[in-house]
Structure 1
């Protein structure tokens, strides 16, 4: 998918809080919005190159979103709103192995106490809940999730198990928002409970997907599955 908005290159200076960052654009320091409440400490380091997406909305407090960052030679998308859009496009283009038969796609559907990102179904009426998690934490080609504890994430996995028990299809998609990755695991050091929940979900029939992405300055698209090590 293409962003279809003006993209500008800037230099990252600091992140005073989880919602905003200070960057240097055309020699001027300005405040921009960070559309990702995760820590991102490993990638948002002073002096790194970032890309801003212009958001010309007069009601906004900041004119740009910080949507991608270079970690050495790797371009990483950090916009937490992007993964669902990328997966939606991939589902419609039948690019996710094992889900090609699900041609009816609905967003943000509730099951139990959770709202899942997708409820998809086949022409014959077979239904499937899919939860999407964006992944930005990477080291030497190894991606992990989460980068900070997430009780909500573990709860989603347990709700997927319940959906599976009730006869629905169920899966968790980890969309790795960069290309140069070949392995994925839960980040047990940061959130042991999430890792336990992910393994429990797998043992109980929930599908686990992990795909990397092709990320460019003006767009992002799903690429290929990577090895999952639980």
Structure 2
């Protein structure tokens, strides 16, 4: 997908809370919105280069959203709204292995006590529930999730298990919002319960998928599958 809004580079200064950051653009310091509630501590380091997307709503408090940052030479997209849009594009373009037979792609559908990101259906009305998790944490080619404890994420995995038990297809897709990833693994040191739930889901027949992205400062698209290590 192409980011249609104007994007600019800036220097990161600090992030006082989850939703706000201060940057320096054209020699001036200003506040921007951060569309990611994760910690991103290994990415948003003082002095790093960040990518800003200009907003088009005159009523918003900040002019820009901080959507990506350079970790050394590696560009990492941190916009939490991006993964679902990228995966939807990939589903429609039949780029996700094992899910190419599904022609009907619906967003934000409820099963049990959870609302999954996608409900897919094929020509025989077979149903598949898909949950998407954006991944921004990386170290030497190994990507991990989550970068902060997530009770909601564990709840989603347990509901996917129930969907599978009810006869539906079910899967979770981890989208690396970056390229050049060797493998993906759950970050047990950050959230042991999530890691255990992911392994339990896999043993229950829930598909566990990981894909990296091809990306630049003004585009990002799902590219190829990544090895999953559980």
What secondary structure does 1:21 align onto? Answer: strand
1:191 equivalenced with 2:188 (yes/no): no
Unaligned runs of 5+ in 2: none
Shift of 1:180: 1.6
Mapping 1:36-185, distance limit 5 Å: 36-185=36-185
Structure 1 stretch displaced more, 51-60 or 76-85 = 51-60
Shift of 1:64: 0.4
2-structure distance, mates of 1:56, 1:105? 28
Unaligned runs of 5+ in 1: none
Shift of 1:56: 2.2
Q: Deviations over 1:129-159 (max 9, x none)?
A: 0000000000000000000000000000000
**RMSD (CA atoms):** 0.4
2-structure distance, mates of 1:118, 1:182? 26
TM-score relative to the length of structure 1? 0.99
What secondary structure does 1:153 align onto? Answer: helix
2-structure distance, mates of 1:68, 1:112? 34
2-structure distance, mates of 1:223, 1:11? 28
Shift of 1:35: 0.2
2-structure distance, mates of 1:48, 1:30? 15
Shift of 1:58: 1.2
Aligned residue pairs, count: 230
Q: Which residue of 2 aligns with 1:206?
A: 206
2-structure distance, mates of 1:106, 1:57? 27
TM-score relative to the length of structure 2? 0.99
What secondary structure does 2:185 align onto? Answer: strand
Runs of 4 or more above 4 Å deviation? none
